[in-house]
Chain A
């Protein structure tokens, strides 16, 4: 299951219209905004547009995410129905007495376990799951971008900037470890 062409088209039109008005309103208001917001607040005002772009783009990803999530639940519910159907067929074969409660439970677990393991083992399930996670990551990416814009407006380090620090620390740690190894070798 994937997002249909019609849905994609209407999303793209929505994106265009939203961006058009966001841009126009931004242009129309930028002069009075400049007059009214001075200093650091100016930065926050100008970043507002970036946030709306991220929000608009998130809608597109949301459609893909919803479609993948629906497919995921459909796979689960279809498998449940098939397993239940098989169990229902088995029920008349199990003697209806107290001694067989345990075996009845065992049969139920075995049937459901088999059906669901077959589902989780299938390439169709893994393919949809992989795409579901990817679309979730796309949404997360936009959320990260929005958080970064807000952090930037508040003069705080963004995720990207923090990652640059981590990268720098990583390479420093690696260089120190290498030097320590050389020093230890020469010392011994």
Chain B
């Protein structure tokens, strides 16, 4: 009996091509350690323990006197805001004439396990903002917080409203009860006291696990197939490697800060209910009375829009703007869409409300 094995020639050709691409890959792509994520030049103007305040070198003549201080998230490093020249949040704002500072939280170690919200907000953040005010000869700053940096910025502004002229919150973690993401689901069920008591700081491995269950098939499977398919596209490969390097650099979070964040924001939902205490003071969102701009993304699978949007209604500001963008958590800050839509809107809003 004769059997005939039928192989689709197109499928076979594709299979051979992807194998060839895998073999060629090391010659066409850099290893993660070989690339440097630092893009736009900056100067470290202030540092305290592991925290650094970066001041970006202006690219054009400054058109806005009020400095803009960005409080980056506690998860991963700030490099995503300057990941690629064509998608750089930082570069875009500099080109719009802003005087730009950024707080880099650094990489905490075991010695930092007792640092909490009070140390971050009333210590590091307050000192960085004081420095920016003094150096720029201004009375106030515009403050932008991204993701968990948005939570810190909200708490900071509630405690020090006199230092913040404008508040910009980009995908902030505010109302944990309404957050419908996988991240929130896990956060609500974790014994955070036992975790911090046993291991000290929040280990990055837990974050890597959480990343792995967000779109596991697209991110864990399809992404890599597409990488090998596009191995000859220099720009695609460069962007892919840079983002992968950024994703794989997750510093630990100081134990006490993580404990308070999970308990007060996700498990007991104290922040939105004005029941959170930092440094012995109650965090009342009604203290936030300056212009506020809230940016959320419909496709955000790390911080759902329902978690961020309540801040818009909870503050006492009369000048407030809420924008909902058709993109994702990272897409809102590092994509062509953010360059074309999110950043110009933010720039215009901020220029109208800043000291010239």
Question: B-contacting residues of A (Cβ < 8 Å)?
Answer: 98, 101, 105, 109, 112-113, 116-117, 120-123, 125-127, 129-130, 133-134, 137-138, 140-141, 144, 162-163, 166-167, 169-170, 173-174, 177, 181
Closest to B256 in A: A170
Whether A137 touches B198, Cβ cut-off 8 Å, given contacts A123-B185, A167-B114, A169-B111, is yes
Q: Does chain A have a CB within 8 A of B353?
A: no
Q: How far is the CB of B195 from chain A (nearest CB, A)?
A: 6
* Ranked 10 nearest A-B pairs via Cβ: A130-B189, A126-B189, A170-B114, A98-B10, A120-B182, A126-B185, A137-B198, A134-B191, A109-B217, A120-B213
Q: Does chain A have a CB within 8 A of B1?
A: no
Consensus secondary structure, chain B interface: helix
- CB contacts (< 8 Å) of A98 on chain B: these are 8, 10-11
A117 B10 Cβ-Cβ under 8 A: no
- CB contacts (< 8 Å) of A170 on chain B: these are 111, 114-115
From A101, A109, A140, A177, B123 is in contact (CB under 8 Å) with A177
From A121, A144, A169, B182 is in contact (CB under 8 Å) with A121
Question: A-contacting residues of B (Cβ < 8 Å)?
Answer: 8, 10-11, 14, 48-49, 110-111, 113-115, 119, 123, 127, 180, 182, 185-186, 188-191, 194-195, 198-200, 206, 213, 215-218, 221-222
- CB contacts (< 8 Å) of B200 on chain A: these are 163
- CB contacts (< 8 Å) of A112 on chain B: these are 216-217
Q: How far is the CB of A120 from chain B (nearest CB, A)?
A: 5
- CB contacts (< 8 Å) of A113 on chain B: these are 215-218
Whether A166 touches B198, Cβ cut-off 8 Å, given contacts A113-B215, A126-B185, A130-B189, is no
- CB contacts (< 8 Å) of B215 on chain A: these are 113, 117
Whether A121 touches B217, Cβ cut-off 8 Å, given contacts A98-B8, A166-B110, is no
- CB contacts (< 8 Å) of A133 on chain B: these are 190-191, 195, 206
- CB contacts (< 8 Å) of B194 on chain A: these are 134, 137-138
From A112, A122, A173, name the one whose CB has the most chain B CB atoms within 10 angstroms. Answer: A173
Whether A173 touches B189, Cβ cut-off 8 Å, given contacts A98-B8, A101-B11, A113-B216, is no
Whether A141 touches B198, Cβ cut-off 8 Å, given contacts A109-B218, A126-B188, is yes
In the complex, what distance in Å separates the CA atom of A140 from the CA atom of B199? 8
In the complex, what distance in Å separates the CA atom of A140 from the CA atom of B14? 47
Q: Can you list 23 A-B contacts (CB < 8 A)?
A: A109-B217, A109-B221, A112-B216, A113-B215, A113-B218, A116-B213, A116-B217, A120-B182, A120-B213, A121-B185, A123-B189, A126-B188, A126-B189, A127-B189, A129-B189, A133-B191, A133-B195, A140-B199, A144-B198, A166-B110, A166-B111, A170-B115, A174-B119
